Amino acid sequence: MGTPSRLFGTDGIRGRANEYPMTPALAVAFGRAVAAKFAQPDRPVVIGRDTRISGPMLEQAVAEGIASMGADVMLVGVVPTPAIAFLTRHLRGSAGIVISASHNPFEDNGLKIFNADGLKCDDALELELEGLILSDALRNQSATGGRIGRVETWPDSAARYADLAVEAYGQGLDLRGVRVVVDAGHGAAYETTPSVLRALGAEVRALNAEPNGTNINDGCGSTCPDLIQKAVPEFSAQIGLAHDGDADRLICCDETGSLLDGDEMLAVIALDWLKRGRLAENTLVATVMSNLGLDECLAAAGGKLLRAAVGDRYVLELMLAHNLNVGGEQSGHVILRDYNTTGDGLVTALELLRIMKSRGEPLSRLRLALRKYPQLLVNVKVRERIPLDQLPEVTDTVKAVEKELGTKGRILLRYSGTEPKIRLLVETRDEALLQPVADRILASIRNHLAVL
């Protein structure tokens, strides 16, 4: 995977808008670097964004940087992150840029890149881009006169993408008679997901689909799934869908209002594809965070599981390396390579609905195939990310606990790639052990690491 860069985390550059590094000045430099690395004649760089108030400001800055290098830009406005992966290919773009901070609050924003094939950059390429952004290497490389790039807008982008999505993802799917609750989180999918579902015949109740620039993820969306849990029974819906701000992941609930996480969605999809001979190499890709029950679930059906590092691009890297077509994360990023090259909340929802329709079974029954081990995930805010190998007292505590647990559980301790947090995952066969084990490790963390 290489060595992570300073600007780029697990999902692009992210920070508080109008504060370093998420400033217009850096966005211009970012655009210039992307143009230098990716630009091709007659192939624009496609730029999309979510609904944050800072989005248009950063969009214009990135476009300025690209055009100043002589490359053309196509602005597609507010669309989900996976739409940019799709549209970069559809519009024959040389690269795609997403301006979004996903599930973060509206004050934050971020920059993500897709290449011409709709794939995220690897660590080595991000380090190369960072070098161009932070150095003077491009200072004397500016276009003038007729060589300056053109900045154009793709009209009615959300509606046009929704039409393309119905054609690409909804083939043969008849949702007449199906009721769906969608919580768009006032984010990028506030128009597209309801539109696609309605076009396929579903009756949709859309929640939090009135963005104003500052209400994205504000007590709604995938981080507040209690809203769909309540609305689904009230609406007599078969499924509830909750997106994060850029809709590259999905959290859903079944018809009873009971939540499914990414592991459960992956199990439903992988087992169905395995049964129909559609799961490549009979193998699913998940991450080190995924439940041990997923391994057992796949093995019992004659399949197997490969684990990647946390981050959907690392999942995709492993999928590409082994030519696999289904992978994802517990957080709700699900990649179905037969449809798209990145996590896609809309595609995941449509595939779950397709399986429910073809099997004639409710989601509450389909999910029973996965028997999960008890897990406890704790996030602790930190002042700085001191490498764990420089905290021997903490790592020694983890090793001691792991030795005591043996085969009855596991511990995973890592820093978030997008926020100033350290994440602790405890997984055991015996649920009664979760909190005592977590408390022991958390005490060591608080004794040796400055927390907020």
Q: Give the CATH number of the domain where residue 326 resides.
A: 3.40.120.10
When pLDDT is cut at 50, 70 and 90, the band that residue 407 belongs to is confident
Same-domain pairing of 60 and 147: yes
Work out the average pLDDT over 422-441. Answer: 93
Domain of 33, in residue numbers: 8-157
Q: Is the peptide bond before 21 cis (omega within 30 degrees of 0)?
A: yes
When pLDDT is cut at 50, 70 and 90, the band that residue 3 belongs to is very low
- Domain annotation covers residue 165: no
Question: Contact at 8 Å (CB) between 37 and 132?
Answer: yes
- Domain annotation covers residue 164: no
Write down how long the chain is: 452
In this predicted structure, what is the pLDDT of residue 9? 82
CB atoms within 10 A of CB 229: 18
pTM of the model: 0.89
Residue 4 has pLDDT above 50, yes or no: no
The encoded tokens of residue 133 equal 């952004």
Same-domain pairing of 269 and 227: no
Same-domain pairing of 298 and 429: no
Work out the average pLDDT over 271-290. Answer: 97
When pLDDT is cut at 50, 70 and 90, the band that residue 129 belongs to is very high
Residue 5 has pLDDT above 70, yes or no: no
Closest C-alpha to 15, from 64, 58, 48: 58
Between CA 294 and CA 279 the distance in angstroms is 15
Name, in order, each residue with C-beta under 8 angstroms of 358's C-beta and a sequence gap of 6 or more.
272
- Domain annotation covers residue 202: yes
- Domain annotation covers residue 162: no
Same-domain pairing of 332 and 303: yes
The encoded tokens of residue 120 equal 């995220």
When pLDDT is cut at 50, 70 and 90, the band that residue 221 belongs to is very high
Same-domain pairing of 247 and 309: no
Q: 113-136: buried (b, 16+ CB within 10 Å) or exposed (e) per residue?
A: bbbbebbbbbbebbbbbbebbeee
- Domain annotation covers residue 1: no
pLDDT digits (tens, 9 = 90+) for 370-379: 999 999 999 9
Q: What dihedral angle (degrees, nearest 10) is formed by the CA atoms of 291, 294, 297, 302?
A: -150
From 102, 195, 222, 331, the catalytic residue: 102
- Alpha-helical regions (H) of 291-433: 292-300, 312-322, 345-359, 363-366, 392-405
pLDDT digits (tens, 9 = 90+) for 43-84: 999 999 999 999 999 999 999 999 999 999 999 999 999 999
Question: Contact at 8 Å (CB) between 32 and 138?
Answer: yes
When pLDDT is cut at 50, 70 and 90, the band that residue 452 belongs to is low
Same-domain pairing of 212 and 186: yes
Tell which wins on pLDDT, 139 or 278: 278
Task: State what percent of residues in the chain have pLDDT above 70.
Answer: 99
Same-domain pairing of 144 and 186: no
Reported as type and span, the H/E element at residue 76 is strand 73-78
Q: What dihedral angle (degrees, nearest 10) is formed by the CA atoms of 385, 388, 392, 397?
A: 110
C-alpha distances in Å from residue 186, one per residue of 49, 154, 162, 364, 373:
13, 22, 17, 27, 33
Same-domain pairing of 152 and 14: yes
Work out the average pLDDT over 366-388. Answer: 92
Work out the average pLDDT over 153-175. Answer: 96
Q: Which of 213, 230, 254 is the last residue of a domain?
A: 254
C-alpha distances in Å from residue 442, one per residue of 114, 395, 447:
37, 11, 9
- What one-letter code names the amino acid at 350? L
The encoded tokens of residue 243 equal 């997106």
- Domain annotation covers residue 360: yes
pLDDT digits (tens, 9 = 90+) for 337-359: 999 999 999 999 999 999 999 99
Q: Which of 306, 335, 369 is the last residue of a domain?
A: 369
Average pLDDT score, the chain: 95
Same-domain pairing of 228 and 266: no
C-alpha distances in Å from residue 249, one per residue of 84, 104, 140, 200, 201:
14, 13, 40, 21, 23
- Interior angle at CA 443, CA 441 and CA 444, nearest 5: 65
The encoded tokens of residue 114 equal 């897709």
Same-domain pairing of 354 and 423: no
Q: Which of 235, 254, 273 is the last residue of a domain?
A: 254
Between CA 321 and CA 304 the distance in angstroms is 16
Same-domain pairing of 24 and 138: yes
Strand, helix or coil at 442? helix
Same-domain pairing of 239 and 276: no
Question: Contact at 8 Å (CB) between 344 and 305?
Answer: no
- Domain annotation covers residue 219: yes
Report residue 228 CA to chain centroid gap.
Answer: 20
Q: For 214-296, list the strands marked E by DSSP.
A: 239-243, 250-253, 259-260, 283-287
Least confident interval from 7-11, 106-110, 152-156, 445-449: 7-11
Residue 2 has pLDDT above 70, yes or no: no
Work out the average pLDDT over 184-212. Answer: 98
416: annotated active-site residue? no
Between CA 29 and CA 34 the distance in angstroms is 9
User: Domain count of the chain?
Assistant: 4
Between CA 340 and CA 66 the distance in angstroms is 26
In this predicted structure, what is the pLDDT of residue 311? 87
- Domain annotation covers residue 2: no
